[in-house]
């Protein structure tokens, strides 16, 4: 039923898309998808599952290969896409939420402008959950408030680290991010007991370690999201723990990029013909019954958004009042976080 509903929605959306240029084709070419995350992580898993279906609907049915660029919490891949990647339709990227918010929330000027990317669409909603390994002493949100919890992160400005600092500020937790992991090695670190847990999207966990959730090996302590995922209503919501109205707005701003998680992004200056071709291919691919079945089999919930809708989310981010941005930025600052 859910598959048919998704397919029907995107079939209707296709009717409103402008036709792609008849001359644009990728026949005989190779498209590289630059993945802003390490091999084995959630961003990687979603991209590799989706790529063959995207290729199926692109003009000329090109070969799509993957290139992982996890550096800087994923910012390396986004910067490459913005500054170096070709603009002829042979380069596309995908990322987690961290690099999307970096230009507004980062400690230094980002070497890219999210307003200039060409947004193809997004694959999922990215509800973040903070979780601990079952052998640790962390069983509830109160435990994380009572004592320090070490979590794995990919970088000081990555999504897990920023989520930890923000939660420490607005709900009084005591999480300490340890950087240097990739998406895949972070999960290994949890299993080996190098860290207590992490803060990552539920979709990422379901796509890479579904048995951890199924068998209770990973305890879900609280969601950092606008709402809990269906079936997880018993897990507390951090938003409900916040007393300050300004802190609540800061968290809501921080969560905005997670409404279009795992986006597909083309470099700036890509022509409208190329963008339209990719958007049409994307919307056909996410409505493809074979893709939906495979994604479900791999534990990858699909909550797709069109490229137009993603562009609207980006515009909302770019027009957010500066006072809210500054409050959020202060809360996730790693230097201030270490001092708290």
pLDDT tens-digit readout, 294-313: 999 998 889 999 999 999 99
For the sheet containing 149-152, what is the strand order? Answer: 175-178, 149-152, 197-201, 128-133, 218-224
H runs (alpha helix) in the chain: 2-14, 42-57, 75-83, 97-105, 141-146, 159-170, 183-192, 202-208, 210-214, 245-255, 272-286, 289-297, 307-318, 322-331, 334-339
Residue 32 has pLDDT above 60, yes or no: yes
**φ/ψ (deg, to 5) at 24:** -80, 125
Q: Which stretch of 10-14, 115-119, 267-271, 288-292 has the lowest confidence by average pLDDT?
A: 10-14
- Do 153 and 250 share a structural domain? yes
H/E segment holding residue 2: helix 2-14
Average pLDDT over residues 162-175: 95
- Do 110 and 41 share a structural domain? yes
Q: Report d(CA 202, CA 234) in Å as an integer.
A: 14
Give the pLDDT band of residue 72 (cuts 50, 70, 90): confident
pLDDT value for 65: 97
For the sheet containing 118-124, what is the strand order? Answer: 63-68, 30-35, 91-94, 261-266, 118-124, 305-306
pLDDT value for 184: 81
List the CATH number of the domain containing 155. Answer: 3.40.190.10
Q: Looking at the domain assignment, is residue 154 inside a domain?
A: yes
Q: Report d(CA 46, CA 262) in Å as an integer.
A: 7
Q: Count Cβ atoms within 10 A of the Cβ of residue 234 and give its class: 0-12 exposed, 13-18 middle, 19 or more buried.
A: exposed
Q: Report d(CA 91, CA 87) in Å as an integer.
A: 7
**φ/ψ (deg, to 5) at 20:** -75, 155
Q: Looking at the domain assignment, is residue 205 inside a domain?
A: yes
Residue 14 has pLDDT above 70, yes or no: no
Of 255, 277, 297, which residue sits at a domain end? Answer: 255
pLDDT value for 15: 45
Beta bridge partners of 265: 93, 119
Contact in structure between 138 and 319 (CB atoms under 8 Å) = no
- Do 248 and 264 share a structural domain? no
- Do 247 and 142 share a structural domain? yes
Q: Looking at the domain assignment, is residue 117 inside a domain?
A: yes
Residue 9 has pLDDT above 60, yes or no: no
The pair of three-digit structure tokens given for residue 100, joined into one six-digit string: 């999307």
Residue 16 has pLDDT above 60, yes or no: no
- What is the reported pTM? 0.76
Number of domains in the chain: 2
Burial code (b: 16+ CB inside 10 Å, e: under 16) for 211-227 equals ebbeeeebbbbbbbbee
The Cα angle at residue 304 between residues 302 and 306, in degrees rounded to 5: 165
The pair of three-digit structure tokens given for residue 45, joined into one six-digit string: 């898993």
pLDDT value for 97: 85
Q: Looking at the domain assignment, is residue 336 inside a domain?
A: no
Q: Looking at the domain assignment, is residue 11 inside a domain?
A: yes
List the CATH number of the domain containing 311. Answer: 3.40.190.150
Q: Kindly report, residue by residue over 207-224, the tens digit of the pLDDT.
A: 889 999 999 999 999 999
pLDDT value for 105: 85
The Cα angle at residue 37 between residues 171 and 209, in degrees rounded to 5: 70
- Do 164 and 206 share a structural domain? yes
- Do 179 and 122 share a structural domain? no
Average pLDDT over residues 30-51: 94
Q: Report d(CA 295, CA 196) in Å as an integer.
A: 29
pLDDT value for 6: 53
Of 213, 231, 255, which residue sits at a domain end? Answer: 255
Residue 291 has pLDDT above 80, yes or no: yes
- Do 282 and 177 share a structural domain? no
Q: Kindly report, residue by residue over 78-107, the tens digit of the pLDDT.
A: 999 999 999 999 999 999 888 998 898 876
- Containing structural domain, residue 23: 2-126+259-326
- Do 161 and 101 share a structural domain? no
What number of other Cβ atoms are within 10 A of residue 12's Cβ? Answer: 11
The secondary structure of 130-167 as a DSSP string is: EEEETTSS--SHHHHHHS-EEEE-SSTTSHHHHHHHHH
Q: Which residue bears the tokens 């979603």?
A: 46
Q: Which residue bears the tokens 């509903």?
A: 5
- Do 263 and 176 share a structural domain? no
Q: Report d(CA 132, CA 137) in Å as an integer.
A: 9
* Distance spanning both ends of the chain, measured CA to CA: 48
Of 204, 231, 255, which residue sits at a domain end? Answer: 255
CA-CA-CA-CA torsion sign (57, 44, 83, 330): positive
- Do 235 and 177 share a structural domain? yes
- Do 103 and 24 share a structural domain? yes
Q: Looking at the domain assignment, is residue 268 inside a domain?
A: yes
Q: What is the DSSP letter of 27?
A: T
Give the pLDDT band of residue 108 (cuts 50, 70, 90): low
- Do 309 and 270 share a structural domain? yes
Q: Looking at the domain assignment, is residue 340 inside a domain?
A: no
Q: Looking at the domain assignment, is residue 334 inside a domain?
A: no
């Amino acid at each position: 039923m859910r598959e048919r509903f998704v397919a029907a929605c995107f079939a209707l959306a296709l009717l409103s898309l402008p036709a792609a240029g008849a001359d644009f084709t990728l026949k005989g070419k190779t498209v590289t998808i630059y993945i802003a995350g390490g091999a084995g992580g959630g961003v990687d898993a979603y991209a590799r599952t989706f790529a063959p279906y995207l290729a199926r609907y692109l003009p000329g049915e090109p070969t799509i290969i993957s290139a992982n660029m996890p550096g800087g919490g994923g910012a390396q891949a986004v910067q490459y896409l913005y500054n170096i990647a070709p603009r002829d339709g042979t380069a596309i990227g995908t990322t987690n939420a961290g690099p999307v918010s970096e230009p507004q929330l980062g400690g230094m000027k980002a070497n890219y402008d999210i307003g200039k990317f060409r947004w193809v669409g997004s694959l999922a909603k990215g509800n973040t959950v903070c979780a601990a390994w079952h052998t640790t002493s962390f069983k509830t949100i109160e435990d994380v408030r009572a004592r320090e919890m070490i979590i794995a992160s990919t970088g000081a400005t990555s999504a897990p680290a920023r989520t930890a600092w923000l939660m420490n500020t607005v709900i009084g937790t005591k999480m300490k991010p340890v950087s240097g992991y990739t998406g895949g090695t972070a999960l290994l670190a949890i299993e080996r007991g190098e860290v207590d847990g992490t803060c990552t999207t539920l979709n990422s966990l379901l796509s890479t370690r579904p048995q951890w959730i199924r068998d209770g090996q990973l305890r879900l302590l609280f969601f950092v999201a606008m709402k809990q995922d269906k079936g997880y209503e018993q897990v507390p919501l951090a938003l409900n723990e916040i007393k300050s109205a300004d802190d609540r707005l800061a968290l809501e701003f921080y969560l905005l990029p997670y409404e279009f998680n795992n986006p597909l992004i083309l470099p700036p200056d890509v022509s409208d013909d190329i963008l339209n071709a990719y958007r049409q291919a994307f919307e056909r691919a996410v409505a493809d019954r074979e893709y939906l079945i495979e994604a479900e089999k791999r534990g990858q919930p699909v909550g797709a958004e069109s490229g137009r809708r993603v562009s609207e989310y980006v515009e909302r981010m770019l027009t957010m009042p500066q006072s809210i941005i500054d409050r959020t930025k202060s809360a996730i600052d790693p230097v201030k976080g270490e001092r708290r």
